[in-house]
Amino acid sequence: MPRTARIDIPGLLHHVIVRGINRADIFLGEDDKALFTERLAKLLVTTDTDCLAWSLMTNHFHLLLRPRTTKLAVLMRRLLTGYAVVFNLRHHRSGHLFQNRYKSIVCQEDAYLLELVRYIHLNPLRAGLVDSLDDLDTYAWSGHAVNMGNSSLDGQQSDEILEMFARKKQIARQKYRRFIAYGFAMGKRNELVGGGLRRSRKLDGAEGFEAYDERILGSGDFVEQLWQETGDLEAPESAMPLPELAREITRIFDIELTALLQGSRRKELIEARGVLCFIATRKIGMSGVVVAKTLNISRSGVLVAARRGEAIYAKFPELHKLVSTNQPNHLRPL
């Protein structure tokens, strides 16, 4: 399956995860970590990128970045390439150091910023690299120590995070630390790094369906807003195009395509329209905005029709074939 294009727009918050190739170690000692953080700090400044959280593990690392004027890809290319070259020289090795593609998730800042700061900064404690929260307070290879005033990293926006807890820095640090401690008691938060289906997709309940995207951590509205900004309003790569899907549905229901698109209230057309909305949005992952525009109805109308179409879809095995062979792997049922 072709790779999905990154969403790389300055001003967005990105959770970046980079792993060693074949999960091999990328830091063999503190000298390596010092080299990496020195390079990271310089690049944060020169590329005008905010760092809100970070942690270095053994075979991977996490960064929470907000590029202001430069694309994320510029910083990451320079960071990974430069570090890999020096690492190979230092340790008399050759070949790739990192997996061939780092993972970057665009995050809805208002909803997830503090949760991600906590998740990323707790990684060394959860992994056993430190024994306690007291040790994490002074762990040199995480942004938590910077927030606690025990370390520093040029480019880390520690004040921005602390100001969310209190105006006075001492009180802010106390509240921030309690926030971190509470997060450790909550256990691992897989929903913050899982696939798009787990993060954004809601198929049941009164809230109805929300748009989702494996590249985005955020609400359905946030997902669709980014689709509009990037012009990425069509179905994910390798999914059946909407016009072809509509034609297939009219064939199965033995109706005219023009009738399907004209808003007739005939029962068979209402059912076919519902099936189209259900398959397009909830099976293939198309934008509700695009489907609404095609059918000349409102986005809420698409949601209502999709709920109606779900029951009808279950009765027509022939409809299942429309998604079983055309659906991208990341959209297939878990």
Count the Cβ atoms, other than its own, within 10 Å of residue 131: 9
Fold classification of 235-331 (topology level): Chromosomal Replication Initiator Protein Dnaa; Chain: A; (1.10.1750)
Do residues 59 and 91 make contact, with C-beta atoms less than 8 angstroms apart?
no
Burial of 141 (0-12, 13-18, 19+ CB in 10 A): buried
The whole-chain average pLDDT of the chain stands at 84
Domain boundaries of the chain, sorted by first residue: 13-192, 235-331
Of 201-215, 277-291, 298-312, which has the strongest mean pLDDT?
Answer: 298-312
pLDDT surpassing 80 at residue 60: yes
287 or 329, greater pLDDT: 287
In angstroms, how far is CA 45 from the centroid of its own chain?
Answer: 25
pLDDT in tens, 166-208: 999 999 999 999 999 998 877 666 667 654 444 444 433 334 4
Burial of 273 (0-12, 13-18, 19+ CB in 10 A): buried
Tell me what the mean pLDDT of segment 21-41 comes to: 96
pLDDT in tens, 136-171: 999 999 999 999 999 999 999 999 999 999 999 999
Residue 220: HSE in the Cβ half-sphere, 13 Å Cα cutoff:
19
Q: Name every residue whose Cβ is closer than 8 Å to that of residue 37 and which is 6 or more positions away in sequence.
A: 56, 141, 153
Structure confidence at residue 179 (pLDDT): 95
Left, alpha or beta for 95 (phi > 0: left; psi -120 to 50: alpha)? left
CA distance to 137, 217, 251, 289, per residue, from 238 (Å): 47, 22, 22, 20
Cα–Cα distance between 209 and 282 in angstroms, integer? Answer: 7
Cα–Cα distance between 299 and 291 in angstroms, integer? Answer: 8
Output the six-digit token pair for 264: 């007739």
Q: What class, spelled out in words, does domain 13-192 have in CATH?
A: alpha beta
pTM for this predicted structure: 0.70
pLDDT surpassing 90 at residue 242: no
Burial of 253 (0-12, 13-18, 19+ CB in 10 A): buried
Tell me whether the CATH fold assigned to 13-192 matches the one assigned to 235-331: no
